Amino acid sequence: DTEVTQTPKHLVMGMTNKKSLKCEQHMGHRAMYWYKQKAKKPPELMFVYSYEKLSINESVPSRFSPECPNSSLLNLHLHALQPEDSALYLCASSQRLLELNQPQHFGDGTRLSIL
Amino acid sequence: AQKITQTQPGMFVQEKEAVTLDCTYDTSDQSYGLFWYKQPSSGEMIFLIYQGSYDEQNATEGRYSLNFQKARKSANLVISASQLGDSAMYFCAMREWFDITGTASKLTFGTGTRLQVTL
């Protein structure tokens, strides 16, 4: 079992729907991350939060909207997605953003399919 | 240029044998961290081992060891006594400063190596 919990595990949505992905960790980590992973490809960084503030946005389209309501929780709000957005979405956390020696701990991911 | 290069798309190894997965990296920074992750078909990314750029000793974690050659910019993963459960995708990753301000760090992954352990 991972210490980073992501819900839901699977999500199928239409292009006009609004949905949210949720990520939770209780390890006291202050940096949290969203990644997108297409099949047979490495994860690609989308957003980074440090102490609940957005630190990095890797030029992600505005139809993806991240939110960090508190130090344990990270959401990704989805609206008007395209079929090419179908992917595995991984959440991760690490102790601090500025510590290069700290590993990121990943959740099991949400498999998203856009119809 | 690729930051992290994994030249072996797929590897086969017999159970109980050792296997080396290659990784080379490219950075001009002095401070960076190198990580290996395992991703089974179920999707979760499992942290295996870490090597810091200033570490003089090669990292080891159980059956995993990292062959770190800084001058060659390589960080190969060695798995000893392979088990059927080791069959998975393996990613090498580097954590370095996001930009010159040093106010954030970023983890960049290689393309991965799919390891298949056979009987």
Q: Do A106 and B33 make contact, defined as CB atoms within 8 angstroms?
A: no
User: What is the pLDDT confidence band of residue B66, given thresholds at 50, 70 and 90?
Assistant: very high
CA–CA separation, A76 and A87 (whole Å): 14
List, for residues A35-83, the tens digit of each pLDDT value. Answer: 999 999 999 999 999 999 999 899 999 999 999 999 899 999 999 999 9
Percent pLDDT > 70 in chain A is 98
Question: What is the pLDDT, as a whole number, of residue A19?
Answer: 95
Q: From its phi and psi, is residue B16 left (phi > 0), alpha (psi between -120 and 50) or beta? A: left
Q: Do B104 and A104 make contact, defined as CB atoms within 8 angstroms?
A: no
Residues of chain B contacting residue A27, judged by C-beta atoms under 8 Å apart:
none
Tokens of B47: 């942290």
